Amino acid sequence: DCIKVFAPATVANVACGFDVIGLAMEAPGDEFIMRRSSKPGVTITKVHGANLSTDPAQNVCGVAIQALLQKLGNPDAGIELELFKNITPGSGIGSSAASSAGAVVGANHLLGEPFTRKQLVRFAMEGERLASGAAHADNVAPAILGGFTLVRSYKPLDITSLHTPGELWVTVIHPQIEVKTSDAREILKQKVLMTDAIRQWGNVGALVAGLYQENYELISRALEDVIVEPVRAILIPAFYELKVKCKEAGALGGGISGSGPSVFMLSKGEANARNVAEMMNTVYAPLGVDYKIHVSKI
C-alpha cells in the first residue's frame, strides 16, 4: 500500500532561458515513501538528509500536496510521506522543486491520478513560492515532465515539453556556499536593453531548434545569456574561468544553474561530460571552497 517516488534534480534557465527553460537530470534526486493515511491532510513522518521542517505548512511537500487536495475539493484526504533529501537545499539544482514535484506526483498516484502531469506543475509551483517567494516553474516543470521543458507563459500557465537529444549530458559543480534565490533575483535589473533582448530571444529560439535538430553546434552557440548571467556571475567563485576552461575541456557551453551557486555545462556524450568534471575539479581544487560535482545524462 506504499509507493516509492523519485524526483530528479533540475537545471533552470539553461543559460538564455531565464525563468522559461529547464532540464531534468537522471540523478541525483529526492526519494519518497508515500501512502494514504486516515489522518486528514499531509503528514510528514520524517525528513532524512536535511534539516527541514516536518510541519506540512512549512515544508514544500506539504504546501504542494495541500494545493492539490484543495483543487480536488477534498482537503480531508490523508497523505503520509517520508522524504529522503538527496539534493542539498540551496544548491541551485532544484532542491525545493524536486521535493514539491515528487510530493504531488506521488499524491496524485495515491489518489487515482485525478490530474495530468502538466496539471500537477501548478501545485508544485506553490512549493516554490514557499521556498523562494516566487512561484517560478522552470525547475518543477522538468522535474515532473522530464527532459527539457519550456514555459511559454505564466499567465495563463502554458508549459510544453521539448525534445531531448540522445547524447546530451550535463555536468554540474555545486560550490558549498549559499546563494538565496530571493537575493539572486533582487539584484537583477527590471529593464533590459533592446539589443540584449534581441540577442537573448535569438539564443532561446536557437536552443530550441538545436534540441529538435540534435544540432550540437547550434546548441553550443545558443548557450549564451547576456541579461542575467552578467549580473549574477559575481556570486560564484571563478565563474568565468570555469566557463572558459570547461569549453576547452569539451563542453558545448553552460552557465549558472538556476540562481546559483551551481554551474552547469552541457556536453555531447559521457566522455566529454566526464572530462568537464575533471576540469571543474582542476579549477576548484585550489580555491579552498568545498564543492560537489554531478555528471548525468539528461
Given 31, 126, 128, 229, the catalytic residue: 128
Strand residue runs (E) in the chain: 2-12, 21-37, 41-48, 78-84, 148-153, 158-162, 168-175, 253-256, 263-268, 291-297
Q: Is 164 a catalytic residue?
A: no
Interface with ligand HSE includes 12 (CB under 6 A)? yes
32-48 b/e with 16+ CB inside 10 Å = b? bbbbebeeebbbbeebe
Q: Which stretch binds ligand HSE (CB under 6 A): 12-20, 63-71, 74-82, 290-298?
A: 12-20
Which of 61/279 has CB closer to ligand HSE? 61
- From 94, 67, 92, 185, select the one nearest 133 (Cα to Cα): 185
Q: Do 295 and 281 touch, CB atoms closer than 8 A?
A: no
User: How many of the chain's residues bind ligand HSE (CB under 6 A)?
Assistant: 12
Collect all residues with Cβ–Cβ distance below 8 Å to 191 and sequence separation of at least 6.
none
**CA 192 to CA 241: how far, in whole Å?**
26
Fill in the DSSP letter of residue 138: T
Q: How far is the CB of 250 from ligand HSE (least distance, A)?
A: 26
Rounded CA separation 271/184 (Å): 33
Determine, following the binding rule CB under 6 A, whether residue 185 of this chain makes contact with ligand HSE: yes
Between 90 and 250, CB nearer to ligand HSE: 90
CB of 1 to ligand HSE, least distance (A): 35
Binding mask 217-256 for ligand HSE (x = CB under 6 A): ----------------------------------------
Q: Shortest Cβ distance from residue 184 to ligand HSE (Å)?
A: 6
Does residue 200 bind ligand HSE (CB under 6 A)? no
73 Rama class: left (phi>0) / alpha (psi -120 to 50) / beta:
left
Binding track over 104-143 against ligand HSE, x by CB under 6 A: --------------------------------x-xx----
CA-based radius of gyration for the chain: 19
Task: For residue 181, indicate whether it is catalytic.
Answer: yes
Residue type, 77: A
62 or 255: CB nearest ligand HSE: 255
Active-site residues, by number, are 128, 181
Interface ranges with ligand HSE (CB under 6 A): 12-13, 18-19, 136, 138-139, 181, 184-185, 258-259
